[in-house]
């Protein structure tokens, strides 16, 4: 499981609190790259300066919980990829077959090569653009396209928000410390659609579900599933829909949509069983397995995309605080969709409506 989580961390990642654009980590990353490209090894002093930047310290702290060698893998990857004297070693690693023979160190090297080495000049130029732009205003204006039209801008909250730009991997994470973006992640998503990845993360902060009361233990699994699917699926519309048809997003698209229909059938089975038998419930581990340990992206994006392409985007926006309606709206969209995606049984629909009456605060 740890291997799966780290793999996803290398591809996309999923963790909130951004007006203050902190580029300390990014600046120090390029300082290291400039040194290593001269075939000079990274000194402990230089590395300490880099890893003690706020964003890096936070990231490495989280990553260490997944693998104690994470930071070492990353440091080694920089030297293998960017030091000219390591070219033969780099060539041997990037030409490895795409199978389980790749160990974690090699995966870090390949990620560094694909994300930063091949795109170095483009990322440097893009990073400069982000640094010189009112980035928060840009991503806010995109994020609110998936929020109710009468949404009130939380100015004070936004002014207190921190955005960190760093050079680790290719993800975008939302933590209690702030929104953290890797330069590679921003570049990959935003080089042609400026602001969409940032909008995804900001949407998580701005969207709040109106749930009420204490959720019963035998209802919690269902509410958690619906909330996760809405949370990630609605935000994914902002950044995935514009780019997923491009070849470079094939792997991420596959991961986000693989077996989505089967996952919906599983959810239907679980919900209908629970409606018929109040003793039926599902564990957190079962839910995590259903989601491939990636939160509600899959099948959330499949559901949100089905809703949007069938003409119900405005209704989704106006009910973005209601995870129960998200599932009911998917049902309506799926019945309209000519590709005939899975629909829910009457037992499942009745169960969702029952939960909505109990827990949605109108």
pLDDT tens digit string along 277-306?
999 999 999 999 999 998 999 999 999 999
Whether 344 and 288 map to the same domain: the answer is yes
Residue 322: which of 216, 210, 220 has the closest Cα? 210
Looking at the 3D structure of the chain, how many domains does it have? 2
Whether 117 and 155 map to the same domain: the answer is yes
> 10-24, 57-71, 193-207, 267-281: which has the minimum mean pLDDT?
10-24
Residue 235: which of 185, 192, 201, 190 has the closest Cα? 201
Whether 31 and 164 map to the same domain: the answer is yes
Is 23 a domain residue? yes
Question: What is the average pLDDT across 172-190?
Answer: 87
Count CB atoms within 10 A of the CB of residue 102.
16
Is 211 a domain residue? no
Is 163 a domain residue? yes
Whether 261 and 197 map to the same domain: the answer is no
Whether 173 and 262 map to the same domain: the answer is no
pLDDT given for residue 182 in this prediction? 93
Last residue within a domain, chosen from 145, 179, 206: 206
Q: How confident is the model at residue 267 (pLDDT cuts 50, 70, 90)?
A: very high
- Mark 307-339 as b/e (b = at least 16 C-beta within 10 Å): bbebebbeebbebbbbbbbbbbbbbbbbeeeee
Q: How confident is the model at residue 1 (pLDDT cuts 50, 70, 90)?
A: very low
Q: What share of the chain has pLDDT > 70, as a percent?
A: 94
Instruction: Report the C-alpha gap between 62 and 78 in whole angstroms.
Output: 20
Q: How confident is the model at residue 15 (pLDDT cuts 50, 70, 90)?
A: very low
Pairing between strand 172-175 and 20-22? unpaired
Q: What share of the chain has pLDDT > 90, as a percent?
A: 74
Q: How confident is the model at residue 62 (pLDDT cuts 50, 70, 90)?
A: confident
Last residue within a domain, chosen from 185, 206, 227: 206
Whether 195 and 250 map to the same domain: the answer is no
Question: What is the average pLDDT across 296-325?
Answer: 98
pLDDT given for residue 31 in this prediction? 97
Question: What is the average pLDDT across 25-48?
Answer: 97
Question: What is the average pLDDT across 65-73?
Answer: 90
pLDDT for residue 12 is more than 60:
no
Q: How confident is the model at residue 76 (pLDDT cuts 50, 70, 90)?
A: very high
Instruction: Report the C-alpha gap between 243 and 190 in whole angstroms.
Output: 9
Is 182 a domain residue? yes
pLDDT for residue 16 is more than 70:
no
pLDDT given for residue 100 in this prediction? 55
Whether 197 and 231 map to the same domain: the answer is no
Whether 198 and 269 map to the same domain: the answer is no
Whether 176 and 232 map to the same domain: the answer is no
Is 34 a domain residue? yes
Whether 53 and 199 map to the same domain: the answer is yes
Last residue within a domain, chosen from 206, 236, 267: 206
At 249 the three-state DSSP class reads helix
Is 194 a domain residue? yes
Whether 178 and 252 map to the same domain: the answer is no
pLDDT given for residue 201 in this prediction? 93
Q: How far are the Cα atoms of 139, 150, 190, 203 from residue 161, in angstroms, in the given order?
A: 13, 22, 21, 13
Whether 78 and 192 map to the same domain: the answer is yes
Tell me the residue range of the domain where 334 lies.
Answer: 217-359
pLDDT tens digit string along 222-245?
999 999 999 999 999 999 988 988
């Amino acid at each position: 499981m740890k291997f799966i989580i780290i793999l996803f961390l290398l591809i996309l990642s999923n963790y909130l609190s951004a007006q203050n654009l902190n580029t300390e980590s990014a600046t120090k990353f390029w300082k290291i790259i400039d040194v290593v490209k001269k075939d000079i090894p990274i000194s402990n002093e230089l590395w300490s300066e880099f890893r003690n930047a706020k964003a890096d310290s936070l990231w490495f702290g989280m990553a260490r919980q997944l693998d104690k060698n994470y930071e070492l893998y990353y440091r080694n990857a920089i030297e293998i990829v960017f030091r000219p004297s390591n070219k033969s070693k780099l060539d041997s690693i990037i030409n490895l077959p795409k199978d389980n023979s790749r160990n974690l160190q090699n995966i870090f090297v390949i990620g560094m090569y694909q994300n930063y080495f091949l795109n170095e000049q483009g990322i440097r130029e893009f990073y400069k653009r982000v640094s010189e732009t009112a980035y928060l205003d840009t991503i806010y204006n995109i994020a609110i396209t998936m929020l109710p039209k009468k949404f009130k801008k939380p100015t004070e909250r936004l002014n207190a928000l921190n955005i960190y730009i760093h050079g680790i991997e290719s993800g975008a994470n939302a933590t209690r410390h702030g929104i953290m973006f890797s330069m590679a992640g921003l570049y990959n998503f935003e080089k042609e659609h400026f602001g969409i990845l940032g909008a995804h993360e900001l949407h998580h902060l701005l969207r709040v579900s109106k749930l009420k009361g204490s959720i019963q233990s035998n209802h919690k699994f269902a509410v958690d599933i619906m909330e996760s699917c809405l949370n990630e699926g609605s935000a994914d519309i902002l950044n995935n829909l514009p780019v997923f048809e491009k070849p470079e997003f094939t792997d991420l698209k596959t991961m986000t949509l693989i077996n989505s229909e089967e996952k919906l059938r599983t959810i239907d089975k679980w919900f209908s069983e629970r409606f018929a038998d109040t003793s039926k419930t599902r564990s957190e581990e079962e839910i995590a397995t259903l989601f491939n340990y990636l939160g509600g992206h899959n099948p959330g994006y499949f559901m949100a995309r089905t809703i949007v392409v069938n003409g119900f985007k405005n209704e989704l926006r106006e009910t973005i605080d209601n995870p129960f309606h998200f599932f009911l709206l998917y049902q309506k969209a799926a019945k309209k969709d000519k590709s005939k995606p899975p629909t829910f049984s009457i037992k499942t629909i009745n169960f969702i409506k029952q939960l909505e009456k109990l827990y949605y605060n109108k």
